Amino acid sequence: MDKIHIVGGNRLHGTIPISGAKNATLPLMIASLATSETLTLHNVPSLQDVVTLSRILGNHGVDYTVAGRRSGSASGQGSTIKLTAKSIVDTTAPYDLVRRMRASFWVIGPLLARMGEARVSLPGGCAIGTRPVDFFLDALSALGADLSIEQGYAVATARKGLIGNRVSFPRVSVGATHVALMAAALARGESVIENAACEPEIVDLADCLNAMGAKIEGAGTRTIHIQGVDVLHGAEHSVVPDRIETGTYAMAAAMTGGKVTLEGTRAEHLSAALDALEQAGVGVERGETSITISRNGNGIQPVDVTTDPFPGFPTDLQAQFMALMTRAQGTATITETIFENRFMHVAELARLGAAIRLDGQKAHVDGQPTLTGAEVMATDLRASVSLVIAGLAAEGETTVGRVYHLDRGFENLEAKLSACGAQIERLAA
Ligand code: EPZ
């Protein structure tokens, strides 16, 4: 298995182009199941999760082609893909495919809405928590589906089509909001989603569905109104920039010191994280489509953060911010409220010399003057990248194992960091 090898201590200087968002691309690709016409997506990142999902969609009958790069864009800045689900050949998503990526469960929404049936394997647990699917099933049932669990599969039917209704979530869920949107877009009559997720990726999906002929209003707020339509048609859509990738490189630059411009991104999509960086004493310049992060000589101040649904501090940046706080001049408390088991990077950061005390959903990070390189590995995507960030600032050599986690969600990670002066390379197994 490949490893990432880092020699720490270099300040980062330069420009990093930000890719299209993984967590927008996945639901957008799934939306292609809702129409028999072609959905063209631009600015699609080259990631393992995109490849995995294209295989899963292929199993349902989606024809997938990579149409080439956007004209004028440099290599690595996103491909254009075309997805055509002319006819759905199979409404079952088998365990062997769904277990590889939890988001593939979301195919249940458009399959059910278009075909009146879907049989989708339950995704099972994952490293960051149990992540049940009760909100999805309740939402589809509110829209008139009959649901049962049979031999590990969620079986949903709505032979006469879905019927618009009120869907009220007990807690904010990104995935369940995506699925409710896709299902309600093709339901008969009006639906209202209450306590909807407001993440930029939800707005991106709603914009794309509207371009396909859906009638959705209020995406980006807690209440979304949908007027169902009979059919959706083909459309072209460009994927929103990746706010988590942006925040990750912002924290890397904050940690090593130096000055890095993150290009092709939207500062308003990560206000909570940028505010926390400013409180930590990091320079943040917000441009229209770029953000410049700088830290020259001054120390990192401890800042307490609590993860929350958007616009709160994102759980997907919690591990990276913790890495930064390991070098703070004092103690920072980081509280995780979204997932019950998202502190697995703590033990690995400790191998680099971090001092972190866990107390339930809180991590108290006692900042240290230095970290020292070590061999580490992580169990999920964001945890892995937090170790890369820590390694960039640590003295000596760090090797990060299980690189396949990084390949799921960071396009050209080593190239983007090397271009800014980091000493980082991939070692083939
Ligand atoms: C999305 O996961 C993201 N994944 C996650 O990013 C992200 O961490 C998460 O949202 C929170 O922002 C994608 O977009 C592909 P949720 P999702 O449903 O939709 C509970 C990454 O690293 N819940 O918003 O699966 C759930 O257990 C990934 O890129 C239920 O109880 O997250 C969690 O505690 C990891 N029942 C909370 O809600 C349900 O039916 C929020 O999860 C559904 C969710």
If you average pLDDT over residues 125-147, what whole number do you get?
87
Angle at 419 between CA 416 and CA 421, to 5 degrees: 120
Instruction: Give the pairing type, strands 290-295 and 283-286.
Output: antiparallel
CA distances from 270 to 45, 248, 251, 275, 325 (A): 19, 11, 12, 9, 18
Statement: residue 127 has pLDDT above 80 = no
- Which of 244, 191, 235 lies closest to 21 in space, CA to CA? 244
| CA–centroid distance, residue 137 to ligand 1 (Å) | 15
Q: Please state whether 188 falls in left (phi above 0), alpha (psi between -120 and 50) or beta.
A: beta
pLDDT of residue 128: 63
If you average pLDDT over residues 293-297, what whole number do you get?
92
Distance CA 183, CA 186 (A): 6
Statement: residue 77 has pLDDT above 60 = no
Look up residue 390 and give its amino acid. A
Which protein residue has the closest C-alpha to ligand 1 atom 13? 23
* CA-137 nearest atom, ligand 1: 40
pLDDT of residue 69: 52
Q: Does 321 contact ligand 1 (Cβ within 6 A)?
A: no
* CA-409 nearest atom, ligand 1: 29
If you average pLDDT over residues 160-177, what whole number do you get?
98
* CA-339 nearest atom, ligand 1: 34
pLDDT of residue 106: 98
* CA-131 nearest atom, ligand 1: 27
pLDDT tens sequence across 180-214: 999 999 999 999 999 999 999 999 999 999 999 99
Range with the poorest average pLDDT among 168-177, 348-357, 375-384: 375-384
Which protein residue has the closest C-alpha to ligand 1 atom 26? 131
pLDDT of residue 123: 87
Environment class of residue 360 by beta-carbon count within 10 Å: exposed (0-12), middle (13-18) or buried (19+)?
exposed
Statement: residue 75 has pLDDT above 50 = no
pLDDT of residue 181: 98
Catalytic residues: 126
If you average pLDDT over residues 354-376, what whole number do you get?
97
| CA–centroid distance, residue 134 to ligand 1 (Å) | 12
Which protein residue has the closest C-alpha to ligand 1 atom 27? 131
Distance CA 251, CA 245 (A): 10
| CA–centroid distance, residue 12 to ligand 1 (Å) | 32
Statement: residue 423 has pLDDT above 50 = yes
Q: Does 383 contact ligand 1 (Cβ within 6 A)?
A: no
What are residue 406's phi and psi, to 5 degrees? -65, -40
pLDDT tens sequence across 89-108: 999 999 998 988 999 999 99
| CA–centroid distance, residue 110 to ligand 1 (Å) | 19
> Which pLDDT band holds residue 73 (cuts at 50, 70, 90)?
very low
Statement: residue 364 has pLDDT above 60 = yes
Q: Does 381 contact ligand 1 (Cβ within 6 A)?
A: yes
Q: Does 70 contact ligand 1 (Cβ within 6 A)?
A: no
pLDDT tens sequence across 205-228: 999 999 999 999 999 999 999 999
Q: Does 385 contact ligand 1 (Cβ within 6 A)?
A: no
Statement: residue 80 has pLDDT above 90 = yes
| CA–centroid distance, residue 132 to ligand 1 (Å) | 9
If you average pLDDT over residues 382-407, what whole number do you get?
95
pLDDT of residue 378: 81
Statement: residue 71 has pLDDT above 60 = no
CB atoms within 10 A of CB 245: 26
pLDDT of residue 74: 44
What would the two tokens of residue 155 be?
Answer: 């079986």
Statement: residue 130 has pLDDT above 80 = no
pLDDT of residue 429: 79
pLDDT of residue 131: 73
> Which pLDDT band holds residue 333 (cuts at 50, 70, 90)?
very high
Q: Does 125 contact ligand 1 (Cβ within 6 A)?
A: no
Give me the half-sphere count of Cα atoms (radius 13 Å) on the Cβ side of residue 405. Answer: 21
What would the two tokens of residue 257 be?
Answer: 């010191």
Distance CA 315, CA 337 (A): 8
If you average pLDDT over residues 315-327, what whole number do you get?
98
Tell whether the torsion through CA atoms of 145, 148, 151 and 154 is positive or negative: positive
Average pLDDT of every residue of the chain? 95
Which protein residue has the closest C-alpha to ligand 1 atom 18? 173
Which protein residue has the closest C-alpha to ligand 1 atom 20? 131
